[in-house]
Amino acid sequence: MKFKNYLNDKKILIDKTLDSVIPAEDKDPSIIHQAMRYSVFGGGKRLRPALTLASAELLGIDNKTAIYTACSIELIHTFSLIHDDLPCMDNDDFRRGKPSCHKVYGEPIALLAGNALLVYAYKTILKNNDFKEIKKETILSLIEEMTRCVDTENMLGGQVKDIIQEKKENKKEYLLGLYKQKTSALICAAIRSGAILAEATEKEMKALTRYGECIGLAFQITDDILDMMQDQRNPDKITYPGEFGIKEAKKDSEKFILEALDALKIFDDKSGFLSGLADYILTRQV
């Protein structure tokens, strides 16, 4: 199946499940549930949960068994976007072409909606307890993976570096380290979580981890290129294309994609969506 068709297909199941795990809009206190839903159903591409479903599927686990794990990753992603847009962070008035959460609901509610989504990510991953086929040790490993990708060595640390923007001698090494934490960590956790559910071998896990890290780096570099081309770049921030130019940024992004595709070779031709995503990153416009 083509990458776009696969993604559209998975989006239906992902959206339906997300709808079932977040409280209804009119549930008291309704304002926070409205804010959570505004951001979760605000037009996200659902790449991360689709990656969880795809890596699980690659290793023989069906979508039904992997769906709560996939959705918990999307909830963390949405949490990070709400907080990233806040005035004390990137101060972005728009997200996906619509007013950001704090512009609609105000800063205090947006902050709390972000916090609530993290809590619901944990509630959602714990729903795996309903599946007899998933061992308790596997659920613990999933929680460990999810917690690690958010910690101060990963997303939180990456966001700190993004804010304080230290001056470093080797800017490329510094920026790649920051992107690894800020962006690759969650993408990697999405892919690895599918593999954890499937009790992947060490060799499979190593290959998928390398794939995830490379895809994440290429994804963030491309995101920065798109921001720069659409004149949405924050001039106070150092970014890959800002420092090294669009041409070099594109060249390095392609290098990471090739490395990601190389990592998939051990799966022969079974990794359709994962290799399709690699191609998509290089050509994406949104």
178 binds ligand GRG (CB under 6 A): no
| Tokens encoding 21 | 């795990």
35 to each of 78, 85, 184, how far by Cα in Å? 11, 14, 26
Please count the residues of this chain forming the interface with ligand GRG, following the rule CB under 6 A: 19
Q: How far apart are CA 35 and CA 101, in angstroms?
A: 7
237 binds ligand GRG (CB under 6 A): no
Q: How far apart are CA 38 and CA 33, in angstroms?
A: 8
In the bound complex, what is the minimum distance in angstroms from residue 188's beta carbon to ligand GRG?
Answer: 13
In the list 2, 16, 27, 45, the residue contacting ligand GRG (rule: CB under 6 A) is: 45
In the bound complex, what is the minimum distance in angstroms from residue 12's beta carbon to ligand GRG?
Answer: 16
For residue 136, how many other CB atoms are within 10 A of its CB? 9
Burial class, 219, CB count within 10 angstroms (exposed 0-12 / middle 13-18 / buried 19+): buried
Residue 51 or residue 59: which is nearer to ligand GRG going by CB?
51
Q: How far apart are CA 75 and CA 100, in angstroms?
A: 16
Q: Which residue stretch of 17-25, 79-87, 101-109, 167-175 sits at the interface with ligand GRG (rule: CB under 6 A)? A: 79-87
Q: Which residue stretch of 25-33, 154-162, 207-215, 240-248 sits at the interface with ligand GRG (rule: CB under 6 A)? A: 154-162
> CB nearest ligand GRG: which residue?
44
The answer to whether 86 touches 12, Cβ cutoff 8 Å, is no
182 binds ligand GRG (CB under 6 A): yes
Measured torsion, CA atoms of residues 116, 150, 240, 168, in degrees rounded to the nearest 10: 120
Q: Which residue stretch of 21-29, 102-110, 125-133, 152-160 sits at the interface with ligand GRG (rule: CB under 6 A)? A: 152-160
In the bound complex, what is the minimum distance in angstroms from residue 193's beta carbon to ligand GRG?
Answer: 15
In the bound complex, what is the minimum distance in angstroms from residue 131's beta carbon to ligand GRG?
Answer: 25
In the list 32, 35, 47, 110, the residue contacting ligand GRG (rule: CB under 6 A) is: 47
In the list 50, 81, 218, 278, the residue contacting ligand GRG (rule: CB under 6 A) is: 81
Instruction: Give the footprint of ligand GRG on residues 25-44 (CB under 6 A).
Output: 44
In the bound complex, what is the minimum distance in angstroms from residue 231's beta carbon to ligand GRG?
Answer: 17
In the list 72, 80, 253, 275, the residue contacting ligand GRG (rule: CB under 6 A) is: 80
Instruction: Give the footprint of ligand GRG on residues 89-108 (CB under 6 A).
Output: 89, 96
| Tokens encoding 171 | 């800017």
Question: Which residues of the chain form contacts with ligand GRG (CB under 6 A)?
Answer: 44-45, 47, 76, 79-81, 83-84, 89, 96, 150, 155-156, 159, 182-183, 220, 223
